[in-house]
């Protein structure tokens, strides 16, 4: 048996600042009801978070709430509550943990997680999510907006598809104006998109650094520290600054020849989400053998930035539509997803592909 590989205590500013930013966002959500701030529930995949920010609607993400319950090992009672209410045992655990939170009294007026003012169902990839957001809108009494994103049938989105999604974004703006009482300002959206593009550039650069040997961080397990800021806080100056910090830290590790483990023996590309209640144990399965994730598809669920796409303030609505249509893992064909994985294996020089299938996830099983 090979000598034991150990994890280096390398979690620096990236880990700490990510936690601070996400905690501040959760605290902002907790104050929203008392401060009269409208909130909007969004899916992570292919979301239009920049648009909600420009409309002065505070974004909230039921997936993130469910994930945080799971990683704190608090999701099982919530899942069981949802199953007792009739949700199938093989249904998505994200859905059941979120609905269970409501049934358990952890969501709603006066609670840490408020009811959304609007529920934006940007249908991409998984039809289970459509029913989830329909149920969320029903139990919360929020206004439901169904944003239909056509499946990516070609490598590039057609002009017809871009116009179709852009027209729906215009309708969403009108809904947001009605709940916020504030007029939409296209120049404010352009500024937000500029922050988004800077964050996207930083995230892409961080992932690019994992082409080095050793990789400065695990692009599967450590990517969670960056997925929060890029998906939840995208469009804010804080998120853009965070990625400047991350890149600087990772470039420093590359210069020192340091990675997350004492020795990088194997380089892996990982497909599929991790089992959050057993996150550390699952990671240890790989780290004890010196396996480091150098790229992952899960880290691109909210957007694929490493291949060059950036939001364009010069074409604000069209740019958002293009990201939802094309740079969106869950909206891609199996052929396009295979090509993405192939690029990771070849360009990041991986030794193996790990496919972690989850039976309740229609996207990754």
How many CA atoms are closer than 13 Å to the CA of 363, on its beta-carbon side?
Answer: 23
What pLDDT is stored for residue 2 in this prediction?
54
What pLDDT is stored for residue 324 in this prediction?
93
As a whole-number percent, the residues of the chain with pLDDT over 70 amount to: 97
Whether 79 shows a pLDDT value over 90: the answer reads yes
- Averaged pLDDT for residues 17-39: 95
Residue 362 resides in a domain:
no
Q: Alpha-carbon distance 24 to 76, whole Å?
A: 26
DSSP letters, 157-170, are: --HHHHHHHHHHHH
What pLDDT is stored for residue 57 in this prediction?
98
What pLDDT is stored for residue 214 in this prediction?
98
Whether 267 shows a pLDDT value over 50: the answer reads yes
Whether 11 shows a pLDDT value over 60: the answer reads yes
What pLDDT is stored for residue 187 in this prediction?
98
| Summary count for the chain: helices (H), strands (E) | 13, 7
Q: Higher pLDDT residue, 109 or 232?
A: 232
What pLDDT is stored for residue 358 in this prediction?
79
Least confident of 69-73, 218-222, 284-288, 348-352: 69-73
What pLDDT is stored for residue 67 in this prediction?
86
What pLDDT is stored for residue 9 in this prediction?
66
Stated pTM of the model: 0.94
**What is the phi/psi pair of residue 292, to 5°?**
-120, 130
Pick the closest to residue 173 from 39, 326, 53, 33 (CA basis).
53
- Averaged pLDDT for residues 261-267: 96
Q: What is the pLDDT of residues 53-75, one digit of tens each?
A: 999 999 999 999 888 888 888 89
Q: How distant, in Å, are the alpha carbons of 32, 54, 113, 311 from that of 184?
A: 20, 7, 26, 19
Alpha-helix runs per DSSP H in 181-223: 186-208
Bridge partners for 123 per DSSP: 148
**Cβ proximity of 206 and 247 under 8 Å:** yes
- Averaged pLDDT for residues 30-34: 94
Whether 285 shows a pLDDT value over 90: the answer reads yes
What pLDDT is stored for residue 1 in this prediction?
38
Residue 290 resides in a domain:
yes
Residue 202 resides in a domain:
yes
Q: Which 3 state secondary structure label does DSSP give 180?
A: helix
Residue 73 resides in a domain:
yes
Total tally of structural domains belonging to the chain: 1
Q: What is the pLDDT of residues 133-180, one digit of tens each?
A: 999 999 999 999 999 999 888 888 999 999 999 999 999 999 999 999
Residue 118 resides in a domain:
yes
For residue 280, give its domain range. 14-355
Q: Which two tokens stand for residue 166?
A: 């852009």
Q: Higher pLDDT residue, 65 or 211?
A: 211
Q: Provide the mean pLDDT of the chain.
A: 92
Residue 163 resides in a domain:
yes
Whether 349 shows a pLDDT value over 60: the answer reads yes
Q: Which 3 state secondary structure label does DSSP give 355?
A: strand
Q: What is the pLDDT of residues 299-332, one digit of tens each?
A: 999 999 999 999 999 999 999 999 999 888 888 8
As a whole-number percent, the residues of the chain with pLDDT over 90 amount to: 74
- Averaged pLDDT for residues 203-216: 98
Residue 174 resides in a domain:
yes
Least confident of 129-133, 208-212, 268-272, 292-296: 129-133
Residue 365 resides in a domain:
no
Q: Alpha-carbon distance 172 to 122, whole Å?
A: 11
Length of the chain: 365
Q: Alpha-carbon distance 54 to 75, whole Å?
A: 33
Q: Alpha-carbon distance 143 to 137, whole Å?
A: 7
């Amino acid at each position: 048996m090979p000598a034991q590989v150990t994890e280096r205590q390398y979690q620096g500013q990236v880990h700490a600042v990510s936690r601070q930013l996400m905690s501040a966002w959760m605290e902002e959500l907790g104050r929203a009801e008392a401060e009269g701030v409208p909130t909007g529930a969004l899916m992570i995949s292919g979301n239009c978070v920049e648009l909600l920010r420009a409309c002065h609607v505070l974004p909230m993400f039921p997936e993130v709430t469910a994930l945080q319950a799971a990683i704190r090992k608090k999701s099982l009672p919530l899942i069981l509550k949802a199953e007792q209410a009739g949700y199938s045992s093989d249904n998505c655990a994200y859905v059941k943990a979120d609905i269970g939170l409501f049934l358990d009294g952890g969501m709603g007026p006066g609670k840490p997680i408020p009811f959304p003012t609007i529920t934006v169902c940007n249908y991409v990839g998984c039809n289970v999510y459509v029913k989830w957001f329909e149920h969320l809108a029903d139990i919360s009494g929020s206004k439901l907006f169904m944003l239909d994103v056509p499946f990516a049938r070609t490598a590039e989105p057609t002009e017809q598809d871009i116009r179709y999604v852009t027209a729906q974004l215009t309708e969403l703006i009108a809904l947001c104006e009605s709940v916020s009482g504030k007029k939409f300002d296209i120049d404010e959206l352009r500024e937000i998109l500029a922050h988004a593009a800077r964050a996207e550039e930083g995230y892409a650069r961080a992932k690019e650094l994992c082409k080095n040997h050793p990789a400065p961080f695990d692009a599967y397990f450590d990517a969670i520290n960056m997925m929060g800021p890029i998906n939840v806080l995208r469009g804010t100056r804080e998120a853009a600054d965070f990625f400047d910090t991350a890149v600087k830290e990772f470039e420093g590790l590359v210069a020192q020849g340091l990675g997350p483990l004492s020795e990088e023996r194997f380089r892996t590309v990982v497909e599929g989400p991790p089992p959050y209640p057993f996150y550390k144990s699952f990671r240890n399965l790989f780290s004890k053998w010196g396996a480091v994730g150098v790229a992952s598809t899960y880290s691109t669920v909210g957007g694929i930035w490493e291949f060059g796409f950036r939001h364009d303030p010069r074409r604000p609505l069209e740019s958002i539509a293009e990201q939802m249509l094309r740079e969106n893992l869950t909206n891609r064909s199996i052929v396009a997803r295979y090509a993405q994985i192939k690029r990771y294996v070849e360009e990041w020089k991986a030794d193996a592909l790990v496919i972690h299938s989850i039976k309740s996830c229609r996207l990754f099983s």
